[in-house]
């Protein structure tokens, strides 16, 4: 894509965009797993036995402690989604605003996607039946139906908000539509491919890779397709210019590699 040199500068450097995704997405995953599940495990008087890139094992929990540990990851996602939206509203410069949008879109879709996924399959953090994340609970089918409906409505709301937010940043027109597709699909592809590669390091085989890493990335953020290919908005053109930031690209690669090497094979705590 050639950079637009008219008075309205609408350009996002693809390397900088990929570097920002490589920087933020591992940090957001660690927030879900470590700040959510692991910290809550310790706070309830238990001790994590395994810290993986996409899972935390907190053995010997039952009752309310089990529920709290299971729900904590998505709880952190919801808090980050709200904080990202507030940051986006206050940010003025393009790069911080794009970063806040990325956190909002990814964490909002992942949180809502967890409810939908667990409601539909009884797998994951919110499965309310025997073997599920928060189960066993009475009337598991009722819980599952409620989770799916709440997740679906929340997911639709996040996708629509993400589209509106990009419209405010980029404006309307064909050039804005191209940049919107570039942003949404870069986040989707970089997040999905990196999660798949990191997930392959885990010692528990393809089950964890498919149900945690791939489900949360390729599945959880599938709404980015709706963002990318939403109808072209009839809005005034906006200036939104992000140039090449080599330091950000290098930092993103470094963080993703460190995430893969450290948590990918799992840290065992005795």
Q: Is residue 166 part of a domain?
A: yes
Taking alpha carbons only, the member of 66, 38, 73 closest to residue 52 is: 38
Q: Is residue 7 part of a domain?
A: no
Residues near 245 by beta carbon (within 8 Å), at least 6 away in sequence: 13, 16, 19, 95
Residue range 53-59: mean pLDDT, rounded: 93
- On whether the pTM is more than 0.75, the answer is yes
Render pLDDT for 243-260 as a digit per residue (tens, 0 to 9).
999 999 999 999 999 999
Render pLDDT for 184-233 as a digit per residue (tens, 0 to 9).
999 999 999 999 999 888 888 777 777 677 777 888 999 999 999 998 77
Residue 3 has pLDDT above 70, yes or no: no
Q: Is residue 67 part of a domain?
A: no
Q: Is residue 245 part of a domain?
A: yes
Burial of 141 (0-12, 13-18, 19+ CB in 10 A): exposed
Residue 1 has pLDDT above 50, yes or no: no
Residue range 39-43: mean pLDDT, rounded: 97
Render pLDDT for 131-149 as a digit per residue (tens, 0 to 9).
788 988 899 999 999 999 9
Provide the sign of the torsion angle of the four alpha carbons 21, 22, 25, 31, taken in this order.
negative
Q: Is residue 62 part of a domain?
A: no
The first and second tokens of residue 105, run together, are 């879109």
Binning pLDDT at 50, 70 and 90, where does residue 69 land? very high
Q: Which domain holds residue 201?
A: 12-32+73-256
Three-state DSSP class for 131? coil
pLDDT for 4: 46
Q: Is residue 44 part of a domain?
A: no
Q: Is residue 49 part of a domain?
A: no
Look-up of token digits 């964490």? 107
Q: How many domains does the chain have?
A: 1
Q: Is residue 65 part of a domain?
A: no
Burial of 205 (0-12, 13-18, 19+ CB in 10 A): exposed
């Amino acid at each position: 894509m050639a950079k637009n040199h008219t008075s309205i500068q609408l350009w996002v450097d693809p390397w900088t965009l990929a570097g920002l995704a490589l920087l933020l997405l591992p940090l957001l995953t660690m927030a879900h797993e470590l700040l959510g599940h692991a910290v809550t495990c310790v706070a309830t008087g238990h001790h994590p036995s395994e810290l993986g890139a996409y899972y935390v094992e907190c053995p010997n929990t039952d009752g309310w402690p089990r529920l709290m540990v299971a729900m904590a990851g998505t709880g952190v996602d919801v808090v980050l989604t709200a904080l990202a939206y507030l940051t986006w509203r206050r940010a003025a410069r393009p790069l911080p605003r794009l970063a806040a949008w990325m956190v909002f879109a990814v964490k909002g879709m992942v949180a809502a996607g967890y409810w939908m996924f667990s409601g539909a399959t009884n797998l994951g953090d919110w499965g309310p039946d025997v073997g599920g994340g928060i189960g066993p609970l009475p009337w598991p089918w009722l819980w599952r139906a409620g989770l799916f409906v709440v997740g679906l409505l929340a997911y639709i709301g996040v996708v629509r908000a993400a589209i509106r937010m990009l419209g405010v940043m980029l404006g309307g027109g064909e050039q804005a539509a191209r940049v919107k597709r570039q942003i949404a699909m870069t986040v989707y592809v970089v997040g999905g491919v990196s999660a798949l590669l990191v997930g392959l390091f885990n010692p528990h085989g393809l089950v964890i890779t498919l149900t945690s890493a791939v489900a949360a990335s390729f599945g959880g953020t599938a709404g980015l397709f709706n963002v990318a290919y939403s109808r072209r908005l009839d809005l005034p053109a906006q200036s939104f210019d992000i140039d090449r930031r080599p330091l950000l690209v290098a930092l993103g690669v470094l963080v993703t590699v460190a995430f893969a090497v450290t948590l990918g094979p799992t840290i065992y705590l005795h």
